[in-house]
Structure 1
Amino acid sequence: MTSNETRHRRRGLFRPLTVLASVALALSACGAPASAPPGQGGTGAAGGGDGSKVIIGVGGQTLLTYLPTTLAQELGYYEEEGVNVELQDLQGGSKALTAMIGGSTHVTSGYYEHTIQMQAKNQPIKAFVDMGRSSGLALLVAPKNEGQIKSIADLKGKNVGVTSPGSSTDMFVKFLLVESGMQQTDAAVSAIGAGSSAVAAMEQNQVDAAVMLEPDISVLTKRIGHDPVILEDVRTEEGLKEVFDTDAWPSASLYAKTDWLEQNKDTAGKLAKAIKRTLEFIDSHSGEEIAAEMPEKFAGGDKELYAKVIEDLKKTLSKDGSFTENGVEAVLKTQRVANPEVGDKDIKLEDTYTNEFVE
């Protein structure tokens, strides 16, 4: 199969969603919710116990991959489980990770692969509930380059937008470049964030291509008036198998420093239970019912279409919050390709995740 044939076939994987959502979905008008400065509220190193506040840094709160984190709060599940949670939108997984490592937050709602990256740096963190079975990523071509960029090879010398350097979107670009026989430096990356900033960067051709997630992809589709050219798409099980050779990809998760987990097992258990209950709610309710529970601003004034996007993306979420062995192994495999800091280092996967809090 040629690269063009592969691209067009993958592009068709999510066509029903883009057509559906392109009618309208003005999320870009409101953008991501404002976040409190990291460290606001005075977090302690052992915070989270005895009813104290647990601050969770979210790697882009409007992104649907992190929907369970916000929905759990909207449903009151954190409170019902007896934990006081504050969510901070930190506009990218690497920023959320940095905030936690620096002590500004206790827990991160970010991608599982960060636990592997940090073990390679001898900084133990562990994921304790999995929210996503797919990374939810797609690599799109900016409107100005449609017809010029037709394959990963065409990205050489181009500028690719990612949420932030070091985030999962960045790792995705690097993996694709290497898998295509290129150097990781053959394409530059620029931070475009998520939400309105990401959509604007693509619509205004500030970058040549970008790795995006929903609902940003659907917002961009509506803004440019046609389906964008998609080079790679791992929002579906078929796409995961083609790109990563797996049917499971632990992505959005809750993770924390390993010592924090050891010191706050009761709190971690309550957080995990709240997220597990949320995943069960998502699985048993319609997109419309879920959208009705989310913050009004997330719908951009059109809850009906927001609900339809959620309905389509439900299939990418975990149903029970547990990690699978083949999934974490697939993430490690691609990290070895995409991330020189991981490379061939001895990684103990059993130290990067646990299912004890969701079982």
Structure 2
Amino acid sequence: MSFVSLVFIQSAACTRAPDSGARRVRIAIGGQNQLVYLPTTLARELGLYREEGLDVELQDHAGGAKALQALVGGSADVVCGFYDHTIQMAADQRELVAFVTMLRFPGLVLVTSPQSAATVTSISDLKGKIAGVTAAGSSTQMLLTYLLQKHGVPVDSVSVTGIGASATAVAAVESGKVDVGVMTDPALTIVQRRAPAVRVLVDLRHVEGVKQTYGTSTYPASVLYAKAEWVRANRDTASRLARAIRRTLEWMQTHSAEEIADKTPADFRGDDRTLYVDALKNTMAMYSPDGVMQAEGAKAVHAVLAQSMDKVKNATIDLSKTYTNEFVR
């Protein structure tokens, strides 16, 4: 049984943390050190959760699918993951609601290993190859499936394996364990620095790549989402969370990559601060300036999923129930 078919378990209502009086919230993140999810951690480093009266626990998971499982199982209240999961779950009659949008572009990059760069020059060359994604069922695999179908490559002709999102992903691509990998920064920048021969096949960090791949100028990705019943029961907490993330996004728009790096946990930056700053510079365009979900973007995500997933194609989904902007406007 796939994670999207699991039985929903009612999550516990948000509680106040002892001593501080702050509202305690557990957020599951699908790979905390990836730049696509940076605002969630940066809000903590900037002290914005505390200013909003929140006691936030950040849980690091190996991919968006695992983070969703934590929500379904009741060990998390909120997920920092990709918006497409709310649509997938809606197709299963499970109501999840995204309530603040962090990325207007997905920030994902399909890149070859240095060993495969000469022979894999396009998506069409992937038949019979090995492709790495963060984890089975994650948004990185959804992208890969869409790209294969779009280019007429049978999905079952490509072997798919989980490679994680950080050091394990770098090792898998750099060593040639996989022929291609769906990566995010800073792991991508590390690979490109160590192995300049790698070939970028698809780059969704910027509007040009998004238009080329999806035919739209916006394709929302990282969001905070929760069960609809949790949002209804904890409206004030959801509002405080959304405000903390929106304030973080606004702060990022007015500060340099170097200043952002200074506020990032040292273990996220690693030993090479310059490389991390370069990775930030390569991805700054993907961050939403205001946390608002664009209706055009939501429709684009649904259209892509309907092409690659029969259950989404055959379901009647009210997209207006998969997200709300009420807490960021």
Q: TM-score, normalised by structure 1?
A: 0.85
Q: What does residue 29 of structure 1 align with? A: none
Structure 2 gap ranges (5+): 1-9
Q: Find the residue that maps to 2:111 and give its secondary structure.
A: strand
Number of equivalences: 316
Q: What does residue 9 of structure 1 align with? A: none
Q: What letter corresponds to residue 74 of structure 1 in structure 2? A: E
Query: Which one of the candidate residues 310, 319, 323 is aligned to 2:293?
Result: 323
Contact 1:133 1:317 in 2 (8 A): yes
Contact 1:172 1:338 in 2 (8 A): no
Q: What does residue 200 of structure 2 align with? A: 230
* Mapped pair 1:220 → 2:191: yes
* Deviation of the 1:146 alpha carbon: 1.7
Q: CA RMSD in A?
A: 1.4
Q: What does residue 136 of structure 1 align with? A: 107
Contact 1:292 1:303 in 2 (8 A): no
Q: What does residue 47 of structure 1 align with? A: 14
Query: Which one of the candidate residues 186, 190, 210 is aligned to 2:161?
Result: 190
Q: Find the residue that maps to 1:144 and give its secondary structure.
A: coil
Q: What letter corresponds to residue 89 of structure 1 in structure 2? A: D
CA distance in 2, matches of 1:230, 1:311: 17
CA distance in 2, matches of 1:171, 1:283: 29
Q: What does residue 23 of structure 1 align with? A: none
* Deviation of the 1:188 alpha carbon: 1.9
Query: Which one of the candidate residues 276, 279, 295 is aligned to 1:306?
Result: 276
Q: Find the residue that maps to 2:53 and give its secondary structure.
A: coil
**Per-residue deviation, residues 95-120 of structure 1 (Å, max 9, x unmatched):** 10111111110000000010000000
CA distance in 2, matches of 1:182, 1:306: 35
After the TM superposition, which of the residue ranges 134-143 and 69-78 deviates more from structure 2?
Answer: 134-143
Alignment of 1:55-134 (within 5 A): 55-134=26-105
Report the CA distance shift for 1:150/1:116 in structure 2 as closer, same or farther (over 3 A): same
Q: Find the residue that maps to 2:94 and give its secondary structure.
A: coil
Q: Find the residue that maps to 1:143 and give its secondary structure.
A: coil
Query: Which one of the candidate residues 114, 133, 149 is aligned to 1:162?
Result: 133
Contact 2:23 2:237 in 1 (8 A): no
Contact 1:129 1:357 in 2 (8 A): yes
CA distance in 2, matches of 1:46, 1:65: 28
Q: TM-score, normalised by structure 2?
A: 0.93
Query: Which one of the candidate residues 246, 250, 256 is aligned to 1:286?
Result: 256
* Deviation of the 1:51 alpha carbon: 3.2
Q: What does residue 35 of structure 1 align with? A: none
Report the CA distance shift for 1:319/1:47 in structure 2 as closer, same or farther (over 3 A): same
**Per-residue deviation, residues 153-205 of structure 1 (Å, max 9, x unmatched):** 21112110000111110001100111112332221210111110100111121
Contact 1:140 1:232 in 2 (8 A): yes
Contact 2:65 2:138 in 1 (8 A): yes
Say which structure, 1 or 2, has more relative contact order (CA 8 Å, 6+ apart): 1
Work out the percentage of aligned pairs sharing the same amino acid. 44
* Deviation of the 1:309 alpha carbon: 2.2
CA distance in 2, matches of 1:248, 1:85: 29
CA distance in 2, matches of 1:141, 1:311: 22
CA distance in 2, matches of 1:291, 1:123: 38
Q: What letter corresponds to residue 299 of structure 2 in structure 1? A: E
Q: What does residue 245 of structure 1 align with? A: 215
* Deviation of the 1:230 alpha carbon: 1.3
Q: What letter corresponds to residue 71 of structure 2 in structure 1? A: M
CA distance in 2, matches of 1:199, 1:283: 29
* Deviation of the 1:221 alpha carbon: 1.2
Q: What does residue 274 of structure 1 align with? A: 244
Q: Find the residue that maps to 1:57 and give its secondary structure.
A: strand
Q: Find the residue that maps to 2:313 and give its secondary structure.
A: coil
